[in-house]
Amino acid sequence: MFDNEEALSNGLALYLKAEVIKEQILSPDYESPEDLDLYLDDVINTYKGALIYDRMDKNRYNILLLLYDVKLALTAKGADYYTVANYDVAYQYYNAATEINEVEIKFPRIARPDTSTIYTAAVVARLAEKDELAMEKFEQVVDLEYYRQDAYDQLIQLYKKNKFDVKARKLEIRKNKMFPPEQN
């Protein structure tokens, strides 16, 4: 129903699809689809499209409410997979929550990045041994001055592990300014 060309640029159709996705992902019968990447891309693109094609912001508030619920659901799914040490799938869900947050930032009610979601995606990416992705997410939270010393510590460790010694040293200096050693 939503796969035809007209539905992809119809604000009302995308709003309805966003409602269906929310109900689907919040259902107690929800199971991760076989092609999780494709599904999560569809979720993100649906919310982005619903907001882009919402003429005169007619449904913006309701779309954003759906988006917040979906972001929380994606984070919860990530936590479920994290708990059973399936870090690759956990990362996919946390990363999708981060991308949904980026949509939220572009179409804000309140414009601010969700640092705790980005931080969690970084931690899970590190556990999944996706060092490059983990460094990217940790760099985001450090740039946002997220007040967690361990975010700096983990990024420093990743830099050292991946032979970015200059970056590691510069970040240690920055960390020591934000968290002076005498405070520890």
For the whole model, what pTM was predicted?
Answer: 0.71
Closest CA to 75 of 27, 103, 34, 116: 116
For residues 57 and 63, give the distance between their C-alpha atoms in angstroms, rounded to a whole number: 10
Written as tens digits, the pLDDT of the chain (184 aa) is 566 777 778 888 999 999 999 999 999 999 999 999 999 999 999 999 999 998 777 888 899 999 999 999 999 999 999 999 999 999 999 999 999 999 988 887 754 678 889 999 999 999 999 999 999 999 999 998 888 999 999 999 999 999 999 999 999 999 998 888 876 5
Quote the CA–CA distance of 80 and 86 in Å, as a whole number: 9
